[in-house]
Chain A
Amino acid sequence: MDATALENDLRKKRMWAFGIVGFFAMISISTFAYNEYYIYLSVYLWFGFIYGMCLQYGRFCFSSAFRDLFAVGVPRMVVGVMVATALFAFVSAFISATGLSTFHAAPTSVHAVIAGFIFGVGMVFAGGCASGSLYKTGEGNGVALIVILSISVTQALFADVAGWTNKLVPESWHESAVAKGLPSTINAGDGWVDQYLAGYVWDQPVMTYASLLGLSNDSVAGAFFANVLIGVLVPGTILLIIVYVFWSRGGFKRKLLKKQSGFSFKDDLKGYWAMISSSKRTAIAGLILGIFCGLQMLVTQGLRVKFGVRNAGSLLERMGHDFGLSVNGTVFDPGYWYVTTQEAQWVGWAFNKMGAENMDNIYFGFVNGIPNPALNPADWMSLALIGGAAVMALLHNEFKFKKPTLELATWAIIGGALMGIGSRLGLGCNVGAFFVRVSQGDVSGWLFGLGMIGGAYIGVKFFNWWTERKMAKQFESCGM
C-alpha cells in the first residue's frame, strides 16, 4: 500500500471511529430527551465504552493471564489482572465503607472451582475469555463473534434444560429446591439448573473475608483490612511472587549476569518490579479498569437513590416496558462490569419470541428476566464495549475484518459452549465470578480463579499437543 492509499485508509478508519462515538452519543442524548430514566442505561453504555477502549488498548484478556504463562512463559497479563483487581478492590472498599456498594457476595463451595475449571478450559479453546471475545469482536475478529454467539446460546439453553436431565439431579437437591417455596410459575423442582441453584448452591454459605473475621463489609476495617488487604493484596502478592520465581526470574537473572557478576536479593526486588512494569499498556489498562469499575458502582447506586428504585426493572415498568421482567419485577442490573448474563438474556429473549417457554426457570423467570435487548441495561454495556474496542482499534490502525477458518470456528463453538456452562455453574464468568468477586472480598472469587487456572493448564496442554502435531509436518518439509 503506498503512502497516499495508507493515509486514505487511516482517514477512513478515523471517520468510522468518530461515527461510532457519534452514534452512541446520539443514542444517549435522544433517549434522555425522550425519558430521563434512560440515563440509567446510558451510564451502562458509557462505562461499557470505556471498558472496551481499555481492554483493546491493553490487549487485556483474562484468558491470556494463565494461558500465556503456561503456553509461552509470559506473565504480563497475570500482572495486569492483579493490578486491575487491586485497584478495583481499593475503590470498591471506599464505596463499601460509604454504604453505596451494589455488590452481593455469592455462595461459596467446591462448585466455584468446578465451574472455574470448565470455564478455564473453554477460554483457552475459544482463544479469549468472555470479555476478551467482546473486545476482539470490536477489532473485527469473526472468531470472537462466534465465541460470543456460542456462550450466549449455550447459556440460554443450559439455564432452561429439563427433561431427562432431571434424572441426574440428586434427590436432596430436588427436595431442597422444592422446599424453597418459590412461586409456582417458576417450578423449581423441574430443570437441572433450577435444582442445582435452589437445591444446592443457595444452601452454601456466603462468605467474605470481612465476615470470616466477624467484621461488617461496610465498616472501614472490614472493607480495607479484611476484604482488600487479606482478600486481595496478600494472595495477589504471593501469586505474583510465585509467577516471578517460576517464570520471570530466570530470564531476568540471565540478562543481569551478562552485565554484572553476582545476583542479590536487591536484584530480585528489581526483577519483581521489572516483571510488574514490563507491559505498560497492560498495567495502564488495568489501572483505568480498576478505577472505572468502582466508579460505575458509585454512579449506578447514585441513580438508584435519585430515582427511588433498587433495580432497573422498576424503571422499565414505569416507562411501560414490562415484557420480560422477572416474577419479582426485576431485570439483570448488577451496577458493575459483567458480561455473560446479558449474553444469555438476549438469546433467551429471541427464543421466547420464537415461542419457547423459558420464563419458568430461576435464572430468567425469578432473577434476571429477558427484557428486550434494546432496553436491557447490561446489553447496552456489552454493545458499547464492542464499540469502544472498535474505536480504539480503528484509531490505532488495528481494526481488520477476519473471517474465521473452519478450525478456529470449531474451537470457538466448543470453547464458547464450555464457557457458557462454566458461567452458569459459577454464577458468572472471568469478570463476574472472578474479577469482581475477588475485588469485593468474596471468598468464592479465588475458588473460581483456582479452577480457571487448572482449566487453563489443561487447555494449554491440549493445544501444545495439537500445534505440535500440525507443525511436525511443516518442520519435516523443511528438513528439521
Chain B
Amino acid sequence: MNFEKQSEGHYRLDVKGYVCPHPQIYTKKALSKIESGDHLQVIFDNPSSGESIAAMCDITGDEIVSQSKEGGQFLWDIEKA
C-alpha cells in the first residue's frame, strides 16, 4: 500500500495486489483525510473492491470523475464531496 501527495489537492493511493476488504478500507480512510474538492487517484486490481468503492462514493456523495481499466488493473479518480 502506498499513499502519496502528488500535487496540491491531488493524492494517489496504490493498493494493487490487495484483496478485500483492504482496498475499500484504505480508500475510505484516505478520503476521510483529504479536503473537500481534493482528488484521490486509486489504483487497484481486485474487481470486487470496485463495486464497494463505487457504492461507498454513491452514499457519501464523493464523485468518481474517471474510471479506466487495463489488464485487470483499475485506475479511478475520485473527487471528495
Contacts and interface: CB of A to CB of B under 8 A. Distances in A.
A76 B55 CA distance: 7
B33 A73 contact: no
A248 B56 CA distance: 10
A166 interface: no
Given A251-B61, A471-B29, A478 B1 contact: no
A282 B51 contact: yes
10 contacts: A9-B71, A56-B47, A72-B27, A72-B28, A74-B52, A74-B56, A128-B20, A141-B46, A281-B51, A408-B19
A6 interface: yes
A67 B20 CA distance: 9
A75 B59 CA distance: 10
In the complex, the 8 A-B pairs of residues with the closest C-beta atoms, listed nearest first: A400-B72, A59-B48, A251-B59, A127-B19, A474-B3, A74-B55, A478-B5, A59-B51
A411 to B, nearest CB: 9
A474 B2 contact: yes
A403 interface: yes
Nearest to A76: B55
Interface in A240-255: 247-248, 250-251, 254-255
B69 to A, nearest CB: 7
Interface string B1-26: 11111000001000001111110111
Nearest to B45: A400
A467 B26 contact: yes
B30 interface: yes
B55 A278 contact: yes
Contacts of B47: 56, 59, 139, 393, 398
Given A393-B47, A397-B69, A467-B26, A475 B20 contact: no
Interface string B29-72: 11001100000000001111011110110111100000001111
Nearest to B47: A398
Nearest to A136: B19
B38 to A, nearest CB: 11
Contact of A64 (B20, B22, B71, B73): B20
A401 B69 CA distance: 15
A267 interface: no
Given A59-B47, A279-B51, A408-B19, A399 B25 contact: no
Interface in A176-204: none
Interface of B: 1-5, 11, 17-22, 24-30, 33-34, 45-48, 50-53, 55-56, 58-61, 69-73
A71 B24 contact: yes
Contacts of A128: 19-20
Interface centre among A72, A251, A463, A474 (most CB of B within 10 A): A72
B53 to A, nearest CB: 8
Contacts of A56: 47
A398 B50 CA distance: 12
Contact of B21 (A127, A247, A400): A127
A104 interface: no
Interface residues of A, number: 58
Contact of A251 (B3, B22, B52, B58): B58
A9 B53 CA distance: 27
A143 interface: yes
A278 B57 CA distance: 12
Contacts of B5: 478-479
A467 B58 contact: no
Given A400-B45, A478-B5, A467 B25 contact: yes
Contacts of B2: 474
Interface string A439-464: 00000000000000000000010011
A114 interface: no
B3 A471 contact: yes
Nearest to A459: B21
B1 A474 contact: yes
Contacts of A6: 70
Given A64-B20, A67-B20, A68-B55, 14 more contacts: A61-B20, A64-B52, A68-B21, A71-B28, A72-B24, A72-B28, A127-B19, A143-B19, A144-B19, A251-B60, A282-B51, A400-B73, A402-B17, A474-B3
Given A6-B70, A397-B69, A255 B26 contact: no
B4 A474 contact: yes
A470 interface: yes
Nearest to A403: B17
Contacts of B52: 64, 68, 72, 74, 76
Contact of B1 (A393, A397, A470): A470
Given A127-B22, A128-B20, A143-B19, A74 B3 contact: no
Given A76-B52, A397-B69, A248 B25 contact: no
B3 A475 contact: yes
A317 interface: no
A175 interface: no
Contacts of A471: 1, 3, 26, 29-30
